[in-house]
Amino acid sequence: MIEIKYFTFNPFQENTYLLINDKNDCIIIDPGCYFENERTELQDYIANRGLKVARLLNTHCHIDHILGNTLVARTYNVGLEIHAADQVVLDRSPQVGAMYNIPFEPSVMPSAYLEDGDRIRFGDDELEVLFTPGHAPGHVVFYCAAQQFVIGGDVLFYQSIGRTDLPGCDHEALLRSIRTRLFTLPDEVKVYPGHGPATTIGYEKVNNPFLKD
């Protein structure tokens, strides 16, 4: 059984997720900790719970989702895993940080690439990697069929969708990802997004104004 813990970090109010299993192993997804108190909060939580960090995953490599990559990789001796199509986004993240006037320690480079359909074993649990480009060229989400949830990054939000006005974005590809990869999941699946509150597939099918036919 996976426990989901999240923190809201950095000037972009990004959601950083910890998936914790019964053995106190954890997967960190999109560590956005930027300010020193945020970095301390994350590390203290892991230490106080006695967690062992097993993997470091990015749904995509926009700056707000990678600010803590190097901290996590070096502190817990884990490699970064992303989709190969988002390498270009990761590579230009220092320039994006300068543009936003947010200096940061550059992310570590990936130790492995994720692919659509990959199964991430996590003790007795499993996550499936779904390729969902549009907001970013190599965006992926992590779906747990047994517990009916998705760690969704910036694809689908509560009554909204990811922005598509950034380099490498594609509005039609994003809508296609939502309709063919997410809206084909059961209505009860809970979506934990990269920003804002959680929602469900069924609710967004009916209420999301960006996805009305």
Domains belonging to the chain, first-starting first, are 3-211 (3.60.15.10)
For residue 163, the model assigns a pLDDT of 96
| pLDDT confidence of residue 143 | 98
Note whether 32 and 55 are within 8 A (CB): no
pLDDT for 72 equals 98
| pLDDT at 212 (0 to 100) | 82
Non-local CB neighbours of 15 within 8 Å, separated by 6+ positions: 6, 7, 8, 9, 30, 32, 192, 193, 194, 195, 196
Q: Which two tokens stand for residue 141?
A: 């989400």
The helix (run of H) or strand (run of E) holding residue 20 is strand 14-20
| Residue of 45, 34, 28 lying closest to 9 (CA atoms) | 34
One digit per residue, the tens of pLDDT, for the chain of length 213 reads: 999 999 999 999 999 999 999 999 999 999 999 999 999 999 999 999 999 999 999 999 999 999 999 999 999 999 999 999 999 999 999 999 999 999 999 999 999 999 999 999 999 999 999 999 999 999 999 999 999 999 999 999 999 999 999 889 999 999 999 999 999 999 999 999 999 999 999 999 999 999 986
Contact between 56 and 87 under an 8 Å Cβ cutoff? The reply is no
CB atoms within 10 A of CB 3: 13
Query: Hey, is 70 helix, strand or coil?
Result: helix
pLDDT value, residue 161: 98
Predicted pLDDT at 73:
98
What count of other Cβ atoms lies within 10 Å of the Cβ of residue 12? 17
